[in-house]
Structure 1
Amino acid sequence: MKKLKVALLFGGRSGEHEISIVSARSVAAALDKKKYQVLPIYITKDGHWLAPDASQKVLSTDFEELIKSQSTTAIQKIEREMSKLSKTSRFSFDFKKEKIDVAFPVLHGPFGEDGTIQGLFEMMNVAYAGCGVLSSSLTMDKDMSKICFERAGLNVSDYMVVMRSELQENLNTTLLQAEKKLRYPIFVKPANMGSSVGISKAKNREELSSALEIAARYDRKIVLEKAVDAREVEVAVLGNENPIASTVGEIVPCNEFYDYEAKYVKGTSELYIPARVPKSVQEKLQKAAIEAYKATGCEGMARVDFFLERKTNRIYINEINTIPGFTSISMYPKLFAASGIDYSTLIDRLIDLALERHADKETNIV
């Protein structure tokens, strides 16, 4: 049987660059070499694409341990080596010439999860795993996704949006508006980042001012949300027109909330799969996950994150991740493993879904 040629894209111009490498290592290991010929394509932090041989060297680096160790010296050494590769191994990749059957982007955050790389695949008429252009761009923007969620009848916590230019012009006005509309504690988030990068929880004006400054480093649009006393739960979704939802997972962060450090550095957050919720609540969460998935036009895969209010079990949708983490500790593959779909089977299914969608699109007149 002829092997499918899979282009595995990772790295990218994002604050989640290293996490992307860790995810790609896991995906590469799970791809059945009897079925697939894997071409790794590493995208540097400044946007250069490296040839497969050089990309494989990057893929062989254990970034998971580097991230956990937080060894600045070790990370800088690796980055210097990667910089050398970038200068000597850049290439122009022709997907058609290489006869790529399917692209599998493992690019978290901006320039990977926001519709940009998906648009490139569409222009080249190449099948690709995961969500399309519209759903990727919609769900990447926390402001726009909340509008879609509300239109679908899903609960979102009270929020407001501010632009970086407004902070530069009159920070005090924003502080007063937030205190009046939301009250403390307040979550402050860059509108277009993932893996909790740039997110802070503010309990007073001084912390709010600092949180806004941090978020503004990552994005020109900033979302402020009223903090809900809630548990953090997640549902993985898989499919195109008829998606399925996994069992529900619960995260008990080692920090005050599930931030970047709690996810990838400390690694001591507690995960409960299935979540410790009544069956009726689990079913409501799964139903809400499918509704959110469809409301934003998702296809292929996504992880839907919720807040479950402690006192009432009221469900608030937080966000959708269209290229969820695929590391050894990531919830998306863990949730489906607990639902009877192991990692390799999950990857196979994502590739099948990509090819099915592409074949369906090819039946269009233009």
Structure 2
Amino acid sequence: MKTNLYVLYGGKSAEHEVSLLTAFTVLNTLDKEKYNVYPIYITEEGIWCSLGLLDHELLDVDELRGSRTGVSPAASMGELLCKLFSGEGSRVVLPVLHGTNGEDGTVQGMLELMDVPYTGNGVLTSAAGMDKVIMKELFARAGIPQADYLALLHYEWNQEAGRQCQRIEETIGYPCYVKPANLGSSIGISRCENEQELYRAIELAFQYDRKLVIEKEVVGREVQLAVIGNDRPVCSVAGEFLKNREFFDYNKKYKSGQLIQQIPAHLSEEVHDRLRELSIQAFTALDGAGLMRADFFVTDEDEIYINEVNTLPGFTKISMFPALWAKTDGTTYGQLIDKLIELALERHAHKQNRSYRGNEQ
């Protein structure tokens, strides 16, 4: 009997369009002989829409969009879940929701309550990996090297913007990066070389989140590694995008095609081994499950600093995560998705052995 596979994508997030690109590739790759595939589109307003059983190849990403009127997010979610999840047969949810309201533990929490297996990281790992400040604090406790940083809350900025700029200049200095704490895909991120740029960058970033992280710039190559597994994670070779040492924003990453992958990255064996070790360490520090991409800076002196991890990395045709595994051990795109589903079922089966009763005498 086929497994019923529900692919969640879109979402009320600034990374809505990135999610659609990932879903387009995933849905066209899934083995329809093995899975009954049900695309579930979540609009930018949070409305859940079912596209029914997918039995054909998608030709355009716009085929993935849907709409409903006269219904609230809660009602649309309830109706759809009752309809799709009340039948017989095994089922797995494959979330490809990037950013807030999907990658941050919110959807994962709902799926936990439904007792449904799902691919990827759980509630705590997703939330901690999404929040760059919490993530960095956990890395600091784990002894993983990273650039100097500080957090900035919206109310602090409103009360004393000048004092906060001074604090950043004294502790971080220029150049520095300003980032929303809970966002990805380079959205809302700016590089600053002076106070005027810093002020504009902070105002921009606060449009996306109430909490920011400001980081000292590390001059070096950006290197990425892919981790997969549950209790015994394994790590891919390292890869990098060949580009000039300048900040690449959302448009350059996803629309202009300016990035060229180099896998494996040109690194010494010692640095390569250390990166793989630190990637597993970061995965473990966040209690990862399923998959994670770890991003590092490597300086010309071979100093290593972790930048961040992505608990739900992109799976578009230009994404690094599947490319890394293809170059590591020949894992195909379809095999990679199958593996993530196997890991989801494994983790869910393990949870079924938990006891939810108090101690009995």
* Distance of aligned partners of 1:358 and 1:82 in 2 relative to their CA distance in 1, 3 Å threshold: closer
* Deviation, structure 1 residue 174: 1.0
Summarize deviations over 1:118-152 as a string: whole Å, max 9, x none: 00000000000000111000110000011111111
* Deviation, structure 1 residue 196: 1.1
Summarize deviations over 1:236-267 as a string: whole Å, max 9, x none: 00000001101101123467223212210211
Contact 1:42–1:55 under 8 Å retained in 2: no
Residue 87 of structure 1: aligned partner: 69
Q: State how far apart, in whole Å, the 1-side matches of 2:80 and 2:161 are.
A: 45
Q: Which runs of 5+ in 1 are unaligned?
A: 64-77
Residue type of the alignment partner of 2:183: M
Aligned-partner SS, 2:86: coil
Contact 2:41–2:65 under 8 Å retained in 1: no
Summarize deviations over 1:73-127 as a string: whole Å, max 9, x none: xxxxx9xx957x2328954322530446100000001011110000000000000
Does residue 1:18 correspond to 2:17, yes or no? Answer: yes
Summarize deviations over 1:31-88 as a string: whole Å, max 9, x none: 111111101000001111002249999x75336xxxxxxxxxxxxxx9xx957x2328
* Deviation, structure 1 residue 230: 1.0
Contact 1:236–1:304 under 8 Å retained in 2: yes
Contact 2:37–2:54 under 8 Å retained in 1: no
Residue 260 of structure 2: aligned partner: 270
Give the counterpart of 1:314 among 303, 317, 321.
Answer: 303
* Deviation, structure 1 residue 321: 0.6
Q: State how far apart, in whole Å, the 1-side matches of 2:52 and 2:91 are.
A: 19
Residue type of the alignment partner of 2:319: S
Residue type of the alignment partner of 2:161: L
* Deviation, structure 1 residue 307: 0.9
Give the counterpart of 1:305 among 289, 295, 303.
Answer: 295
Residue type of the alignment partner of 2:263: I
* Distance of aligned partners of 1:11 and 1:287 in 2 relative to their CA distance in 1, 3 Å threshold: same
Residue type of the alignment partner of 1:93: L
Residue 359 of structure 2: aligned partner: none
Contact 2:36–2:53 under 8 Å retained in 1: no
Q: State how far apart, in whole Å, the 1-side matches of 2:32 and 2:123 are.
A: 29
Q: State how far apart, in whole Å, the 1-side matches of 2:120 and 2:193 are.
A: 37
Q: Which runs of 5+ in 2 are unaligned?
A: 357-361
Aligned-partner SS, 1:209: helix
Give the counterpart of 1:121 among 98, 101, 111.
Answer: 111
Residue type of the alignment partner of 2:310: N
Residue type of the alignment partner of 1:291: Q
Residue 247 of structure 1: aligned partner: 237
Give the counterpart of 2:86 among 70, 87, 97.
Answer: 97
Residue type of the alignment partner of 1:316: Y
Residue 354 of structure 2: aligned partner: 364
Structure 1 range deviating more: 256-265 or 176-185: 256-265
Contact 1:254–1:268 under 8 Å retained in 2: no
Q: State how far apart, in whole Å, the 1-side matches of 2:296 and 2:65 are.
A: 37
Q: State how far apart, in whole Å, the 2-side matches of 1:55 and 1:111 are.
A: 24
Give the counterpart of 1:179 among 169, 189, 195.
Answer: 169
TM-score by length of 1: 0.90
Residue 201 of structure 1: aligned partner: 191
Q: State how far apart, in whole Å, the 1-side matches of 2:32 and 2:143 are.
A: 44
Residue 75 of structure 1: aligned partner: none
Q: State how far apart, in whole Å, the 2-side matches of 1:324 and 1:209 are.
A: 30
Aligned-partner SS, 1:247: coil
* Distance of aligned partners of 1:255 and 1:215 in 2 relative to their CA distance in 1, 3 Å threshold: farther
Q: Please give the root-mean-square deviation of Cα atoms over the aligned residues, in Å.
A: 2.0
Q: State how far apart, in whole Å, the 2-side matches of 1:60 and 1:214 are.
A: 36
Residue 328 of structure 1: aligned partner: 317
* Distance of aligned partners of 1:358 and 1:130 in 2 relative to their CA distance in 1, 3 Å threshold: same
Residue type of the alignment partner of 2:81: F
Contact 1:114–1:140 under 8 Å retained in 2: yes
Matches within 5 A, 1:46-61: 46-53=45-52, 61=60
Residue type of the alignment partner of 1:25: F
